[in-house]
């Protein structure tokens, strides 16, 4: 009976937070195709580890975002090793794509501005602005203090605004 309840819990959580996790990974990777794969992998990992999830410690969305970040970091490390081996930057090439990455309907200036941010800056923007996580939840996902999270967000937004302004002026 408990196993059944657990299964329903996972299915429900997956359904409810799929868009959030996907959006977070799109911002983090800056690549829709990679984000899709990582989202699927995140939920596969979540299914494996669902028995470890403790709702009293964090909400399902926070836990899934932590898992998504960990999955993305594994991907980045693997990519980094591959890049070092091959001596080229595949992600940089992908960013040159004309397809909107961060969302349909975003102004080109904002799209470019987001692309100019680092993954570290985009992830905090995604968590606090797009997913509207509170400071504590975002800090938990990033593994930093609430103050550091606020500072990072403030800097990222300032940089983003600067990039957008520069893009509009151009």
Question: Alpha-carbon distance 89 to 168, whole Å?
Answer: 28
Q: Cβ closer to another protein: 12 or 170? A: 12
CB atoms within 10 A of CB 37: 15
Task: Tabulate helix, strand, coil % of the chain (nearest 5).
Answer: 80, 0, 20
Token match 């081996």: residue?
Answer: 85
Q: Which of residues 119-148 bind another protein (CB under 8 A)?
A: 119-120, 123, 125, 128-130, 132-135, 138, 143-144
**x/- binding map, residues 5-34, to another protein, per CB under 8 A?**
-xx--xxx-xx--xx--xx--x-xxx-x--
Give the shortest CB-128-to-another protein separation in angstroms: 5
Cα 51 to Cα 46, 57, 58, 64, 142, distances in angstroms: 9, 14, 14, 13, 22
Nearest to 134 by CA among 144, 119, 149: 149
Which residues, at least 6 apart from 41, have a Cβ–Cβ distance to it below 8 Å?
A: 71
Give the shortest CB-163-to-another protein separation in angstroms: 11
By CB under 8 A, name the one of 44, 90, 166, 168 that touches another protein: 44
Instruction: Give contact residues for another protein (rule: CB under 8 A).
Output: 2-4, 6-7, 10-12, 14-15, 18-19, 22-23, 26, 28-30, 32, 35-36, 39-40, 43-44, 47-48, 50-54, 56-57, 73, 76-77, 79-80, 91, 101-107, 110, 118-120, 123, 125, 128-130, 132-135, 138, 143-144, 150, 153-154, 157, 160-161, 164
């Amino acid at each position: 009976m408990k196993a059944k309840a657990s299964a329903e819990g996972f299915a429900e959580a997956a359904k409810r937070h799929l868009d959030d996790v996907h959006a977070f990974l799109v911002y983090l990777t800056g690549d829709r195709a990679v984000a899709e794969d990582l989202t699927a992998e995140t939920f596969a990992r979540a299914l494996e580890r669902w028995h470890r999830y403790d709702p009293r410690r964090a909400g399902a969305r926070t836990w899934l975002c932590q898992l998504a970040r960990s999955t993305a970091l594994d991907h980045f490390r693997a990519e980094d090793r591959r890049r070092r081996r091959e001596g080229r930057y595949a992600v940089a090439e992908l960013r040159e794509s004309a397809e909107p990455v961060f969302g349909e309907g975003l102004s080109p200036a904002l799209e470019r501005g987001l692309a100019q941010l680092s993954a570290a800056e985009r992830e905090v923007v995604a968590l606090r602005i797009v997913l509207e996580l509170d400071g504590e939840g975002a800090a938990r996902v990033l593994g930093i203090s609430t103050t550091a999270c606020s500072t990072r967000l403030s800097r990222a937004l300032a940089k983003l605004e600067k990039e957008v302004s520069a893009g509009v002026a151009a």
